[in-house]
Amino acid sequence: MGFSVHLQGKIAHEALLSRQDAEIRLMDSMKRWIVNKVKCDRDYAISLSSTAAQGLKTTPGDDLAGSLVATSWRSIMEELDNTAKQIRQNADSIESKALDALNSLNVEKRKVRKLYQEEHTRILLQFTHLSDEVNRKKTEYQKYLELYKLMRSRFEEHYVKSGRGGRKLDDVRDKYQKACRKLHLTHNEYVLLLCEAVEFEKDFRTVLLPGLLEHQQSLQEAFILSLKHILQEIANNSDLSSEKFREIHKRIENCLDTIKPHEEYKDFTEKYKSTPAEPIKFTFDESLVEDSAGKLLPNQLTVDNLTVEWLRTKLNDLEASIKENQEKRNQLTNSHEGLANGKTTPTSEINNRLSTNVDTSKKEINELKCQERKMLKQTELIKSALNELGCEEVPSGCDLSLDNQTFISNSSEQGGSETHLSKRSPFNHQKLVKMLRKPFRRKSAPSSPVAPPRTRHSRSDSAPRSEGGDPVSITTNKSLVDEEWFHGVLPREEVVRLLTTDGDFLVRETTRNDECQTVLSVCWGGHKHFIVQTTAEGHYRFEGPAFPSIRELILYQFNSSLPVTGRSGAILYKPIPKERWELNNDDVNLLDKLGRGNFGDVYRAQLKNSNEIVAVKTCRVTLPEEHKKKFLQEGRILKQYDHPNIVKLIGICVQKQPIMIVMELVPGGSLLTFLRKKSSNLTDAQLMKMCLDAAAGMRYLESKNCIHRDLAARNCLVGYNNVVKISDFGMSREEEEYIVSDGMKQIPIKWTAPEALNFGYRMPAPDNTPDEMYRLMVRCWEYKPEVRPNFEQIYTVVDTLCAAYRVSFL
């Protein structure tokens, strides 16, 4: 199949031109590729030579003297440098031969393409011109034929009319003869032109166009052959498996054959052989725990509320790691046995030495065994510490008892007398235990059917008494929640405050990890908390026998005088009853929601026993323990105050969640809201009376060494007859003396101490403020704290101003 036979059509001609254009573009692309390849090969040769030179830079000295690997490495680097040189030579050869030949071929191909197009256009134009001449001559022939017919008809007409003579007939005859002559000449020219066209068309179709196409095909095939030679040249110079490269790699293989692993370190080992190192001993530095008050002991884990969850999580992680370690070790052991028995198919000497060989498997197994022994030792240590805890509640890691002493010193519910925490030390603990174990007398024996007979202690002298002076009964058939020594969800801090003497105990509930637990709290050389354990049968126990109910368990421990746990030695001597302000949650009926506070919602409620309408603050169950402590702090402070300008505490509900503070209901709401709504209806005298009420309440708090720390109109309530009462003691503190604490906090500027302000800002006097009152305000803002008036002085000034306004006190 050739161009001359199959490519004579117009579409084939255009396709041939497009093909040549595409081949020219291909050659341009090949040219760019060759240029880039030459550049890349040269860059690679330079980089390879550079890396070879870098590889030849070994460590100084004779550290590698006699090393077969080092010798082979130097030889390999030299051969790599030879490889780089050969690659550069090949790149130069491609550039000097293949690239130059491709450039010349590209120029020739463009020239041939142009000549073909011009020659094809020329012969095609000749054929087209001849065809146009034939058509033109045919048109001329038709025109002269019509003229001939017209002249002939005129001649015949004049000849018949005029006869044989006449001048006009002669003119018509001449025109007729001229028309006949032109027709005959045109006829001859047309015949000759047709003959020429027929012959040229035949030559164009059989000679001229096929010859042009055949010539073009031969030229294109010659170009393809040249291009093939160019590509062959490139391939030859790009072949990394050529004889020269094979020689280089052969020399590298010979160098590698000289490496014998069993001889590599023979001289090195002989030169540097030494005895094994002495073992290193790791001991606990006991000076680290000298100041820990005995809570931290050398080489012993500390289990308390700060670390118990971490220890349990660590134990679970270690057990999971041990299990995973054992599974992996079993797999490696099976693989090790398979390798030892030759069940695996070896691939090469290198693979056998570096991966799945017997020695590697054995090393990994030994390493896993070491890891497992380490984790087992840690697991044993953690389990021992957790098991030693037993049923005791996790002790507190941070002793905060000193922070609570100020509150305890101000508590005076039990017969009006103050109670104080006993200061104990590890040195007099045994002495206290002996004193508290002296015989006591009891009026009655416990009613528990499972308790053993009393033979050890009589406790009548230490029997707890309720508010009316009657001893606390522990023998009645009550349910646990009805027992006076069951304190519900009383927080641990309150428990610490109530248990003051060794043998004091109470029962409470706590929630840990979303699980409700019953806890026996005992004072015994400190405060200990024991979680009641539940058996598989649903009975309750500590370390001794189990009982159907928690109440029976507590009565057994109380009557038997046996330690709750052998480790603690704690004995139950005296049940501590609820305080008079402890209310049952069921005694309070919540009615309407009044608002929302920092710790929970505030309700209007009714006491079921007296139908008294009260206000109740609730503490959200989801709050952290630290927030619940702050919530109860307000109740602890309020319960000891009794003043007409202080909101009265009725009681605190800690029997179950949520914890609630029950206070008197002050109907007027907050002073801030009251003033915003009704300030226009209040006289100056009434406003002064409100100031006097606030000053009176704060003077009373000052006399009780209480710092409110958040006195503001929003924290004052308005009662009947517009009496102002101080409220919201959530931020209050009781101090032995007034002390300015360090540490800035973000609080509103109106209540910020003057020394906390950078630029001495002072709020201007409100409208209609008496001058004396504003002067008192400015005195309260004095920069030096010692210059500011106390609340006794403030009350005196305000009282004088009220007298000046002739205020009538009702």
595 marked as part of a ligand binding site: yes
Angstrom CA distances, 633 to 288, 628, 729, 740, stand at 36, 9, 8, 20
Nearest to 657 by CA among 622, 704, 688: 622
Helices 625-638, 401-410: crossing angle, 10 deg rounding? 20
**Contact of 92 with 100, CB cutoff 8 Å:** no
Angstrom CA distances, 453 to 1, 448, 475, 776, stand at 126, 10, 14, 72
| CA atoms of 407 and 579, how far apart (whole Å) | 15
563: helix, strand or coil = coil
Q: What is the 3-state secondary structure (H, E, C) of 641-655?
A: CCCCCECCEEEEECC
599 marked as part of a ligand binding site: yes
Enumerate residues 6+ apart whose C-beta is below 8 A from 46: 84
- What are the start-end ranges of the E strands in 524-581? 527-531, 533-534, 540-541, 574-575
Q: Which long-range contacts (CB under 8 A, 24 or more apart) does 318-326 make?
A: 318/375, 318/378, 318/379, 318/382, 319/379, 321/375, 322/372, 322/375, 322/376, 322/379, 325/368, 325/371, 325/372, 325/375, 326/372
DSSP 721: G
Single-letter amino acid, residue 406: T
| CA atoms of 208 and 228, how far apart (whole Å) | 31
617 marked as part of a ligand binding site: yes
Q: Which residue in the block uniquely carries the two structure tokens 């709750």?
A: 564
Q: Which long-range contacts (CB under 8 A, 24 or more apart) does 401-409 make?
A: 401/496, 404/493, 404/496, 404/497, 406/733, 406/734, 406/735, 406/736, 407/497, 407/633, 407/636, 407/637, 407/734, 408/497
Is 710 designated active site? yes
456 marked as part of a ligand binding site: no
**529 exposed, middle or buried (CB, 10 Å; 0-12, 13-18, 19+)?**
buried
601 marked as part of a ligand binding site: yes
| CA atoms of 741 and 222, how far apart (whole Å) | 102
Residue 568, phi then psi, degrees to nearest 5: -85, -35
596 marked as part of a ligand binding site: yes
Given the residues 710, 728, 742, 799, select the one marked as catalytic: 710
Neighbours of 458 (CB within 10 A): 14
DSSP string of 572-641, one letter each residue: --EEPPPPTTEE-GGGEEEEEEEEE-SSSEEEEEEETTT--EEEEEE--TTS-HHHHHHHHHHHHHHTT-
Q: Exposure pattern of 286-300 as b/e (b: 16+ CB <10 Å)?
A: eeebeeeeeeeeeee
Enumerate residues 6+ apart whose C-beta is below 8 A from 154: 172, 175, 176
| CA atoms of 122 and 108, how far apart (whole Å) | 21
CA 77 to chain centre: 49
Residue 706, phi then psi, degrees to nearest 5: -110, 130
Residue numbering of the annotated binding site for ATP: 594-602, 617
Which residues participate in catalysis according to the annotation?
710
Residue numbering of the annotated binding site: 594-602, 617
